[in-house]
Structures are given as structure tokens and as C-alpha cells.
Amino acid sequence: MTMIAGIVMLGILVFVHELGHYCVARLAGVKILKFSLGFGPKLISKTWGETEYLVCAIPLGGYVQMLGEGGGEQGEDAELTAAERERSFSDKSVARRLAIVAAGPLMNLMLPFLILPISFMVGVEFPAYVDQPACIGYVVPGSEAANAGFSAGDCLQTLNGESLADWTGANKALINNAGDELKFTVVRQAGFAEVVLSDDNGSLEGLQAIGLLPLQPAVVGSLMPDMPAAAAGLQAGDQILELSGMPISSWYDLKHLIQQSEGKSVDLLVKRAGSELTLPLQPKLHESGAWLIGIGPEQETVRKKFGLFAAFREGAERTIELIDLTLVFVQKLFTGSVSAKNIGGPITVVQVAGQAAQANVSAVLSVLAFISIQLGILNLLPIPILDGGHILFYTFELVFRKPLSIRAREILQQIGLALLLMLMVLAFYNDLARIFWSS
């Protein structure tokens, strides 16, 4: 079901993209031959008026086929009648062709302005710590942060001179500085200190990517059936104080010590309703290779609902922030400041979308907005084959009053196709690596 939900959500974004091309082409008087969701063999086909509407077997994109789209300069309009030529894409002015091509990615960029306000009106849940000062609850052993000298209890004050008011601001600042040397000012019991970290991995996932985690008490929030914790009598709300005599100060300590047990029986000292009790249990080996006892942490969340005007304001601000972060990522990717391992393909998109679909309406709309922005910006890149490449060609024609030569376009399109294929191969490789080889 997760995969199906993800494919449906991806289909919605493809539909919005192609609808942009379709609507502007119709307004410009261009004849639409086909409107397809997906590629490959037809699954569903219906003709209304002069347009064939399709759903095809490979749900990784779509297309709008217009009369004369191949380019009249190559003689492809030669057999059209005068009436048909008037409705040919290639017969339209450069400005109209430019508008038709740009409409797809612009629709993807506009969509979040419409759906994120709905998310804020429905109500957005987020961890309670995100609006709190960025004080470190746990430093992952062996991480970049641990190697740089961070300690649990450090409170982040500045990053490269920028003030950090809370976790949200710290994460945004970290992403904006991805690829740069990171100079943190922190507050400790002994006073102020500076911690310098060379960011080789881009830190695109925020503070967690470098090993800094918020305070997360070892309080049980959920239990999995038929697992050791449930069988031993552990209950939601229990706070785990010790594991076989080792003190537990955070959820992350618990995870680390369970892995160190290597399946041996352990005793949990638990605080429940003001009393302490000891529960023996034996961790179970999961197919992933990790030792589990079958519990989830208690997540303290805050749910906020906004009125109509406030929701549109918050939605617009969030959309602009996501566009900004995506542009930062693209810029740093091309300058080599972040690793190409951060590129995700259709498999990752479907997985993320599908997981959001299992949560709530707000999560679905937020993920749709984020992926829609990425799809829009990707298609605006000036790479031949993509919409951005065609925009580049038509801009050239608009400025120089003549189209780029056929030979030049062919060469650039071949280069663009090669780049796109390499990007797709890399994205699929990263997707598969995350599934089969991630630790």
C-alpha cells in the first residue's frame, strides 16, 4: 500500500506539471494530440474531442504531445494544411512557445502556495523541541560532531557568525552553509567555546547528519506486538533508568547499549507511576542485522492550526523557504560542496511520498509540496531535453531574433540526453544503495 500511495502522489505531481503545458497550449491555440500520464504501453485510453488522454504502464513521468512540436524548421509541418499550421506549436510566436514550455515547471512551483495553506489550516504537528533552543541531548559516537569535540549539554549560539535561536534556525543555517567549514559557538558549563567542523558530507539532513541530536528521554511511547519488550511486561509511559546496571540518560544510550548486548539477556530498571521495577528480557535479531526489543520513543509533539489568512501567510513563507533550500542544494551540488550521494531518484520519491500517505493529510500535503518544488526546479535547469533546455533555446531565439541552428540544437540535445541518462543512473544507484546497502 505504501508503494501504491507513493505512485499515486507522484502521479498527481506529474498531472499538475503536464496540466500546465496543456492549459497554456490550449490558450495559445495549439492543437493537443495526446495527454499522457506515464510512458510505455497504454493501460487506459480515451479520446475526447481532438485529444487522446492516456494512462500508461510506467508511472515515472508524462507528456503532452502537440501538433508540430517537433519543430517546423525541420520540415515536419510541410504536410499540414493552412488551418492545421495555424494550430501548430512551431507556428506560434517565440513568446507563446516559451510560455507553453515554462508553464509545466511553474505549475509545480505554484502548487505549494495552494496546498500548504490547507496543511496549516488542518493542523501541523512537529516535534516540540524544534522551537526550543538548540541544546544538544546526545552526540553520536564516531560522528563528525563527536570528532569535532561536541558534548551533550552544549547549546548552539552561532554558526559562522549567524545567531541560532532554535533547532529550526540551526538546521536551516547548517544547510545554507553545507560544504563550508562550520564554526559553532556553544555555551557549556564552563562558559563559551568554539567548535570547528569540516563539513565534507553536506549536512543536508540538518544537525542529525553530523551527529547532533536533541534531548530524548528513554520513555516508552509504543510497543510492537510479539517482541521482547511487550512479552516482558513493559508499558507505554515507562521510563527506562538502567540497562543491566548501566545508567540510561537518553533514548540514544538505550539503543547503543541494546546493540552492544549482542542478544544476551538484559535487565531493565524501569520507573512506572513513581515506583521502580526490574524487567528481564532478551533482545531479538532483526533481519536488518540490528538487535531490537520492540519499543518506540515517546514523541512530544505540538499541533498548531491557523486561520485562513495566517495559513496562507505561513504556507507562502514555507514555500519560499523550501524553494530557497532546494536552490542552495542545487548550487552546492554543482560546485561540488555536497556529495552526489544526496541525489534521490523515483524510488526514493515514491517511498517518501508513500510513507507520508500513511500519516495524515498535513504530512501528505507537506511532502507533495516539497517534491513538487524539486520537480519544478529540476525541469527548469538549462539542460537540453528538459523544459529548461527548451526555455534556453527559445530565449536565444527571442534575444537574437533567429533560432539556434538545427545542428547546434542536435548536438546540445545529445549532450543533454547523455547528462540526463547519467543523472538517472546515479539516482537509481543511490536509491538501490539506500535500500540494500545502507547500515
Those residues with Cβ within 8 angstroms of residue 379's Cβ, 6 or more apart along the chain or in another chain: 17, 104, 105, 108, 386, 387, 388
> Where in 246-309 does DSSP place strands (E)?
246-247, 266-272, 275-281, 284-285, 291-292, 295-297, 301-304
Start-to-end CA span in the chain (Å): 25
Contact status, residue 117 vs residue 312, Cβ threshold 8 Å = yes
* Cα distance between residue 433 and residue 143, in whole Å: 21
* Grid cell digits, residue 51: 485529444
Q: What is the DSSP letter of 129?
A: G
Q: Please tell me the distance from the alpha carbon of residue 59 to that of residue 14, in angstroms, as a whole number.
A: 9
Distance from C-alpha of 335 to C-alpha of 346, rounded to nearest angstrom: 24
DSSP label of 405: P
Q: How far apart are CA 167 and CA 91, in angstroms?
A: 54
211 C-beta neighbours (distance < 10 Å), count? 20
Q: Is the dihedral of CA 100, 104, 110, 111 positive or negative?
A: positive
Query: Could you tell me if 175 and 328 are in contact, meaning their C-beta atoms sit under 8 angstroms apart?
Result: yes
Query: Would you report the helix, strand and coil content of the chain in percent, each value rounded to 5?
Result: 50, 25, 30
Whole-angstrom distance, CA of residue 372 vs CA of residue 16 = 9
CA pair distance 233, 279, nearest whole angstrom: 7
Given the C-alpha cell 491557523, which residue does it identify?
306
Cβ distance 223 to 236 under 8 Å?
yes
Question: Are the C-beta atoms of 101 and 392 separated by less than 8 Å?
Answer: no
Among this protein's residues, is 262 annotated catalytic?
no
18, 144, 242, 314: the catalytic one is 18
Which residues form the catalytic set?
Answer: 18
